[in-house]
Every structure is written in C-alpha cells, then in structure tokens.
Structure 1
C-alpha cells in the first residue's frame, strides 16, 4: 500500500475541486451522484432549490437543506388552541425549499428511478428521449440541445438552462455533497494529524474531517467531505422568457443577386423591410421577388435528415417551425426569392444557404413562375415530383378498385426511402447506391405478395420466390398484357441493388452496371433514366389495377 497515495485520496482534493468548480454555461453540471466505489468510497451529491432570501441560513451550517427522498407532497398537522388543523404542502414543508431531482422509491415492489422536476421540464418544453434517458430542448430554429442526462446513479444538467430557470424562480440551487473515502490503513499509519479542515465563502461552505471505524469492517480510517455550494441565477433579463427578456433583432445575410460588367458579384441584404415591392417601398432597392440562385447540393442537408426536414414540390419545411418556398424544378440549381430567404429562414439557415449561393444564370422555372407570379395551377414536370405523385395516385387507385394496396405502405422506419427519392445533386457513388436501395424498397420490397397469391394456383405459390416473380405470374395468369418490359426493369433494378448497395462491388456489379450504362453516363443521368422507367411502371400498375380482368379474378 502506498501511504502517500492513500493520504492524497483521503484528502479528497479532486472531489472538492470538482464540486466547487462551476462549468461554463454551455457545459453540464452534476446535480445528483450516488457512487459506492466497491466499498472504498461513498460519494453522495444531491441538490435543492432554495429561495434567494434564505442564502444566509443555508450557508450557516453544513447539513443538507433537502435529503434524498424528501420534497414529495405531504401534509402537516398544526394545533390552534387544542384544535387539529391539517395543512397540505406541495413539497413536504413550508420552508420554500423545492426538489429539482425527485427520487422515486416503491419499497422494492418496483424499480426505483429518478426524475427531473416537472416545472423545469415544462419551463423549457423538454422532449424526453426515452431510449437514452435524456431531455432535449428544441429551439425556434429547429436546433436540438441536450439539457439533462440521467443514468441510474448520475444526473447532469446544462448550466445555461438551469440558470434561466433559477432566474424566474428567484432561487439558488444548492449543490449538497457528502463524500467519504475509506482506507485499510489506520489513522496512525496515515499520520492524519489534522482532525478537521473547513472553509466558508460567499457561495459555499464545507468541512473535511478524518475518523476511525473503530475495528468494524476491513477499513480502518476514513475521511468525510460535507458541505454545500450555491449556483446563482441569471438576471431575469437573461431568462429567455417572454416579457422578461428583450427580444433580439433578427439578423439577415447578404446574398449574391447579380454580377457587374466586370463579372464581380453584386450582393444585397435579405431583410424584407429593406427591399422594394409592388407597393412603392424602397424604390432604389432590389425587389422582394429577386431570384437568388443556389447549387442543388444546398438541399442535401435536408434530405439527409428526413425525420426533421421535408423537401417537397416547391417547399422546404422544418417540422412545423418554419417553411421556405423554393423553386426546385431545375437540374442543377435551386432558386428562392430574396425576401423569402430573410423572412422565412432562421439566421443559421441563411448562412447555410449563403455557402451554396451562386451568381444567377437563367431565370426561375416555368412551373414556379406560373405558381408564384401568375397565381396559376401548374403540375411539376420534375421526375422526383412526378414519381411521388404517381405513387400516391397508385395507392388510391388500388384501394378504390381492388380494396387493397398493390404496393404496401412503408413503415415509419422505411418511409424516409420514399421521402428522399430524387435525382441526385452529385455523381457520388454513395448517394447513387442509397437512392437505388430506396427505390427497390418502394417498388420491389413493398409488392403485396399475400394479395398477389390469389391470382396464383395453390400448388404453385410455394415454388415462386420473390415479389417480382409473384407479380409476373399473377399478371400472366389473368392475361394482363405488356408486362414483360416492366418485369425485366424490376429484375435489373433488383440486381443493381444486390450487386451495389447490398454487397461488395465486384465483377457482377460491372456486368449489371453496364446494362444501366454506368461508366458511359454519369450517375445523375443514370438514375434519371431509372426514375423515368419507374414512373412508367407506376402508370402501368395503375392501368393494371383498373383492369376488369384483375377485378373479376
């Protein structure tokens, strides 16, 4: 045993420094800890919300203001001239102290667990991630921040949100600590001459004492660190709550809107209030409806997070937080009105778009012009939009005519394959493989084999493998014509997926790739061709679903 290391451990300097050090406002603070350390230590940290006017009283002693398990609703009985008067206390007493961490105990009948004050969770409208047991705050721009992390013996909370809450509550958070280190060496061996060390300051109080177990157990000496530290609130002006906090002015980004005679970029601010309109405002400024051009890749960020964003025909949305009208009807670019960029996009999103901003080349699409300027109805001719429209139409037609879906609806876990289908913005192999995989999920893996079986003899059903063969046999049996090319396309698509997305690429992939002209054409053009044939397939399947032969079978 190293005596010096044992003395250092029992001094608890690292624990003391950890407890007294306040993290940055963007970092996490430990508010609950229960660590037994295999018997060599026993660390306990718990917290309590205490009124600001009780600061002097709280720091006048080392004892905890709220013990673990306390702070639950209860009642007390008072006596007034011999009469019993019961009184309800929301937090167990009338001293104003409240719990932030609530330790739930069910006497061994059910598992214990810890939870965070409901008021704190609702104050910040925190989402509970049940899988990871943490709470997440979603701001008005759609950004997610982890505010609380909970494990069985450790709870951390982000300091910024805690101080905002304390500001409105007009409270301190008292971090209470009772930490013990145990040693198999005796006090004499360790030369523990100091009986007790203590310290008091404006916002903390602690004491460190040494002792002896007196022959009980395998340990002889111990040290105990006991005390409290107060976490101070923000000013109410920094609480983030409406009415208390001054709302910050929205910031706006400059975008390239043109080039001068030397080919240099001309930029202008996207603040709608600085732009001209058709009612006489700011006549010297560019018009609100000035088309700003972007590389098509600007949308890849949003396609990459379909659980958060949706990219549809002429519109980009971030859940229900914000939406932006977009002209996504071009091969290599996306256009947006200058005023819409400033009005509809959060500042951070404007910065993202600015990084893909390019000088204008050509105008907006005819579809977008008709919709936005002429207020006319116009169908999109973009393949990805046409495909999604045809897919939805097929679902409707099959239900109306057959009473069941020829293509089974995608599960929540697979719906992103449909939502993200598009002609890729680059020739990256990874994007191409992902899109091929998604298309096979939608068109092949979703074939309703169970219902197709009704068009196949019982004795043959077990011998047919795969949805494509089952569809082919069903169409052949009911004398549906002109299916051969579509079945051949589905087989080739399945082979492409199997040789690229599902397995390592080898000689088989090269053979299949050649059939799709991969190598002689770029991947953008190849997938455009695949999507064209997919649209033709959907049209054909709608015809099949409307066929009297299929209804009568």
Structure 2
C-alpha cells in the first residue's frame, strides 16, 4: 500500500508550466501505466488522492457484449452510491407507491444498473473523531471469510499458517483514501460470481483551470484492447498554444485469467499452493528400521494394504524444544496434552512424550501440517532414544482408554469441580490460565519458572480472601496481617481438621507461592541458586519436580473440596 501511495504522490507533483515535463504530465501516460502496474498484486479498488479518482464495481461478464464500451464510457458513479428508496402518492387517497433504488439507477450507463458496488464511503455524525469511514460489501466479505480488524484497519482472514492476513487494506485520512485488495481473493470472487472488476477512473490535471477554461482543446479517444483500458482524454491550450490542462476519464476491465481447473482445485482444496511434504527420520516398524521417509500420504500405507511403503503410523521423534513455539504463543496456538491447534487453520491430531523426554507423533499427521510447520518440526527431528509412551501405545494401537493417573489433567479437573461446587472459595479469574498451564518439556530454567508462575496465578490467586475472611471472622480467628494461604490454614486449624490433612492442603500452596516469590520474581542470586540445586538434587531435574508439585497440588484441591468451608 505504501508503494501505491508513493506512486500517487509522485504523479501528483506538478511540473513547471511551459516545459516538456508539464506536457508529458498532461498526457497522463504515467497514470495509464499506473493502471497496468496495479492490475495485479495489491489492486486499488478505490482511490481518492488529489486529482486522481478510481472507483470499482463488480459487473456480470455477460454485460460485456455488443457496444458496451460506449455505454460504460457514460458512467457517472460516486463513492457514496448505495441502495435507497423513493415514494410517491398514488391516484387513490392516501395510497403510496414505494420503490427501491439501485445504487446506479442514475449512473448514466444502462449496463451499470447490473453492477454491484464494492466499497461505500459512509459518514455518521455520531462517530467520535473522523465522521466518514469505508464499508465493504458484505456479500464479498462473507463469501471470502473476511473480518474487519480495527487495529489493522483492514478486512482480514487467517492463512494456512494461522497468521492474520490483510486482504482489503484501508488508508483513510481527511485528505486522501486508498483501498486495496489482494489479487488471489479477488480472482476467487470473480470466479464464484462469474463477473469482472470494472475500475472507473477520472483524472483532471491543471496549473490554472479557470484561466484555461475558454481556450482551445484537443480531444481524443484512448483504447488499449489488450489490457481492456478505454478512455476519453483531452488537453487544453492557452492563447500561446502552451498546454495548460488535461483530463482522462474512462474504465478498465480486470478479469480472472486463472484456468478453470486451477480455480476449481482452489475451491475444493481450500488453498492455491500445491502441498509440499518433508522427509523425517522415523521408525519404520513394518521393516524394523530407522530411516528417512516422506510424510506424503501417497507414500504411506495402512495395515490393510501390502506394499513396500512404511505404515502411516510410523512414529517420528523430536527434541522437546519443538513444543516451546506453541507454549510461548497461547493467543495463536492451543496446546493440549495430546494435540495442538492453530486457530482455525491446522491441527496436529496427536503427540505425546516418551520416557526419554522426546516428543513423538506419526508420519500421517505430519503430512496434515502446512509446509512451513513441517519445516519447524523437521528442525527438531532426531532418532528415537526410547519407545513411544505407554499412554500413546494404549490409546493409538490398543484402541483402549488410558485410565492411568495423570497429575496435570487431574488437577485441571479438580479445579473445575471446585469452582462449580464452591465458587465463593475458588474461581479462575482468567479462563485462559487453565489452558496455558503445561508441564515443562525441556531443561530450560525459564520454561520451568514460567510454569511455576502460571501455576501460582491459577491455583493460589484463585482463592477468594474475602470469603475466607468472613469465615475466619465467624470462627473468631481472623488476623488481618496474614495472607490468603495462612488465613486458610488458621481456619482449618480452628475447625480442628487433622494436622496431616491440613499439611496436605496447605503445603503445596505454600511451596508454589514460595517458589514464585523467590524464583519467578527474582531468578538470580545465591538463595535462588541454592533452591534450584536442592530441587534438582531431590527430584533429578526440574521437570520431575514440577510434575511432583502438580500431583501434590491436585491432592490439595481435592482436600479443599472435601472439607466444609
């Protein structure tokens, strides 16, 4: 868009009157070239920039028959053209005849009555700041899955990688307006609607139009049949036969020139680029060997087909760091314990982590990923250091439910149950925290600290101190100097709960909050280093420590649920 604005700015510079550059400027070859250059890529739909005006509509292809050029040359459309109504009184008393008006009923062209406007320049005095704004035809935005994203000032959608793609960009200031559209989306709509894009343009250039208004004029017709640009143009001369002003008014037809087969493939496959498939080091358990294999579904087979191809369920192994990308961007990715989802764009159906800490999935599911995502996984691909996890073998090959205890899943369920039964005692202030809590998958200190931080925000901060304060006051044990965890402990002690059970409830909460305070907030220093070394000495590594802490926290939450509070 910036390049287009720069070009418009360059074309609007007025050369010195009486020079050859001024005459060439009035001939407007640079603007005709601008129309050619912007017929692909980011295509301007609407331009209102100083002396340049472009306004675009959709026109059915079957209108381009016979002497359509002369008809369309009489266009008279405005950016605020829209639907309306009229009424008149009939012959009978109090009878009213009502008619709906098409945006181009008074356009000067019969064919334009079949056209559909794409952009609408609207204004509303109730708006704060700039009163005018650009609206885009809903039929177009809905058919192509576009949504207006205010911070980008554009109509957007998600691409195959799950990133926001700006399709219709809007530049709107009090002085100028530019609206552009990506060519591939325009082509898709032209194919669906069997129509063409009709760009109407008008450009008047002058140094002093009032002075030259009564002078001689040289008029001509411009026709570029190859590029479908048709216009009427003219140059006005002063008494000294020097060119003073010029004008150009006409239209350009932009078609979808993509082959029908390609457009049908895009329509059915949902993407225009051919799928690419990477090779991965995998365990071909059919032939009991480890080698590189493509994840292309055509190069894989299932158990029921005899061939020399590897099974589609051949496991592929990765360094655990492969998951960090998804953990660090929860706005874009939903990382679950056995699957990964990227907005509405793609998903990895299943993965798991084996005893060696390797992430693993199967060749067939890697083939479902966009090529850019395959490259990400390939960069962490390595030979297996252990078999696939017991859980994956049970669910994926035995076809059974995995009923073994899993601390993190159990904790999340326990928190959900506690919130449903005792929302005054505990509730999650941020619904995303539950999804954002994961096991650390690497030995990264930062990853472990981040998970401790999330665990504290979810579990400890979810406790409602006002509710506990009211209980403590009723039991005559309230102390305004203590925090939420110690207040809960005082309540349990006053209620004469078994000391072992109190420790089971309180100890994990204290550990979580202590670690967040000492480590997450202050990850350097001798005290913090000693805490980390002690935890590693006791549990083997920080990943095992976190799992153990989650298991204790699960028991703590279930203990809170049992006690009458």
Shorter-chain TM-score tier: 0.7 to 0.9
- Map of 2:60 onto structure 1: 51
- Map of 1:169 onto structure 2: 193
Counterparts of 1:244 and 1:266, CA distance in 2: 31
- Map of 2:83 onto structure 1: 72
- Map of 1:411 onto structure 2: 430
* Shift in alpha-carbon separation, 1:33–1:431, aligned structure 2, 3 A: farther
Counterparts of 1:169 and 1:475, CA distance in 2: 70
SS at 1:29 equivalent: strand
- Map of 2:5 onto structure 1: none
- Map of 1:228 onto structure 2: 251
Instruction: Spell out the pairing of 1:88-237 with structure 2 (5 A cutoff).
Output: 91-93=103-105, 95=111, 96-105=114-123, 108=125, 111-138=131-158, 142=162, 144-152=164-172, 153-179=177-203, 199-202=222-225, 203-206=228-231, 224-235=247-258, 236-237=260-261
SS at 2:453 equivalent: helix
1:515 to 531, 543, 551: 531
Counterparts of 1:543 and 1:67, CA distance in 2: 70
2:480 to 463, 469, 485: 463
> Which is further off, 57-66 or 332-341?
57-66
Offset, 1:31: 1.2
Counterparts of 2:198 and 2:144, CA distance in 1: 20
- Map of 1:335 onto structure 2: 360
Tell whether the 8 Å contact from 1:59 to 1:205 is kept in structure 2 after alignment. no
* Shift in alpha-carbon separation, 1:377–1:120, aligned structure 2, 3 A: same
**In the comparison of the two structures, how many residue pairs are matched?**
506
- Map of 1:38 onto structure 2: none
Counterparts of 2:202 and 2:538, CA distance in 1: 67
Instruction: Spell out the pairing of 1:331-480 with structure 2 (5 A cutoff).
Output: 331-342=356-367, 344-379=368-403, 386-397=407-418, 399-400=420-421, 403-404=422-423, 406-412=425-431, 415=432, 417-428=433-444, 430-457=446-473, 463-464=480-481, 466-480=483-497
Counterparts of 1:185 and 1:23, CA distance in 2: 29
- Map of 1:544 onto structure 2: 560
- Map of 1:217 onto structure 2: none
Tell whether the 8 Å contact from 2:39 to 2:254 is kept in structure 1 after alignment. no
> Where does structure 2 lack aligned partners over 5 or more consecutive residues?
1-12, 89-95, 238-243
SS at 1:517 equivalent: helix
Counterparts of 2:369 and 2:270, CA distance in 1: 22
Matched, 1:270 2:295: yes
SS at 2:533 equivalent: coil
- Map of 2:241 onto structure 1: none
> Where does structure 1 lack aligned partners over 5 or more consecutive residues?
36-40, 78-83, 213-220
TM-score after normalising by structure 1:
0.75
Counterparts of 2:147 and 2:276, CA distance in 1: 28
Counterparts of 1:544 and 1:367, CA distance in 2: 30
SS at 2:352 equivalent: coil
* Shift in alpha-carbon separation, 1:100–1:433, aligned structure 2, 3 A: same
Tell whether the 8 Å contact from 1:423 to 1:524 is kept in structure 2 after alignment. no
SS at 2:452 equivalent: helix
SS at 2:282 equivalent: strand
Offset, 1:333: 1.1
Counterparts of 1:465 and 1:177, CA distance in 2: 74
Counterparts of 1:420 and 1:350, CA distance in 2: 23
Tell whether the 8 Å contact from 2:460 to 2:513 is kept in structure 1 after alignment. no
RMSD: 4.5
1:317 to 341, 344, 355: 341
Counterparts of 1:410 and 1:331, CA distance in 2: 36
Offset, 1:536: 0.7
Offset, 1:65: 5.2
* Shift in alpha-carbon separation, 1:45–1:471, aligned structure 2, 3 A: farther
Offset, 1:182: 6.8
